[in-house]
Chain A
Amino acid sequence: MSGFIDLSAALRARMQAFRQRNDPPPWSPLSTPVSESTLALLCSNAYMTEAGHRVGPGEHECRFRTIPTEAHRSEPAASHAGGPDLARMEDERLLPVLDRARLLVQSGRAGRLSPRLLSLSGAVMAPSRAIEETRRLAASQLADDQVDVVLLVPT
């Protein structure tokens, strides 16, 4: 994928119309030093074929996928709406990030890694839906995993 300019004009216009501005944005201070915190990873993914067609969970949809950080590989057929091939591609892109996060924990830079990694794929065409899903995750998975900080990494 080369960039935003490769998307259709109609799609770019819709995405720009949805751009939200918070003045100032919500902000939460650290309550625990990072070296003692549970760190959660949230990775974004986007795929384009050589012909320039976007592939993913559904046209103009964004989806969250949960991947156990202890497993070397997830179960792609069961966990990805785009199918097993796309899931394998996504997992391979996530592995370097997961590997570096483990190094951060091993070196003491971060306290511990959350048992579940979040992968976000697709285009956020319906912000309200993405917001609602984020709220659900914050209240459930992230709370259950006792996450203290979230690191968002593009892949």
Chain B
Amino acid sequence: MSLVATELERHGLPTVAIRFKRKAAETLPPRALLAQFRHGFPDDPPNDPGRLLSMMEAALSLLEDADNGPALRAFEPADSSA
């Protein structure tokens, strides 16, 4: 994923990646949102339909906020009880 993101950036396409491993996120992707979820289970758990949407929104926010270089940000879920 990081390899693909880097190559897309090289071609002038802004990217942001959701990652779950800090070590992998710190190697390459120009913008990475580090989220805590089990490998292979990034989608919403039962009774928590908003988490994936929140992660994607946070990733887009990182894309907008990181306007002067590579960035790595930890995803902080809001209260998902709504």
Contacts and interface: CB of A to CB of B under 8 A. Distances in A.
B15 A93 contact: no
Contact of A109 (B9, B12, B19, B60): B60
Contact of A150 (B8, B42, B53, B70): B8
Interface in A112-155: 120, 124, 127, 130-131, 134-135, 138-139, 142, 147-155
A67 interface: no
Contact of B4 (A42, A149, A153): A42
A34 B60 contact: yes
Contacts, number: 135
Given A27-B9, A131-B7, A149-B16, A22 B28 contact: yes
Interface of A: 1-4, 19-22, 24-31, 33-34, 42, 44, 46, 93, 96-97, 100-101, 103-104, 109-110, 120, 124, 127, 130-131, 134-135, 138-139, 142, 147-155
Interface of B: 1, 3-21, 27-30, 39-40, 42-44, 52-53, 56-57, 59-60, 63-64, 67, 69-70
Given A2-B39, A28-B15, 6 more contacts: A20-B27, A25-B29, A27-B30, A28-B9, A110-B60, A152-B5
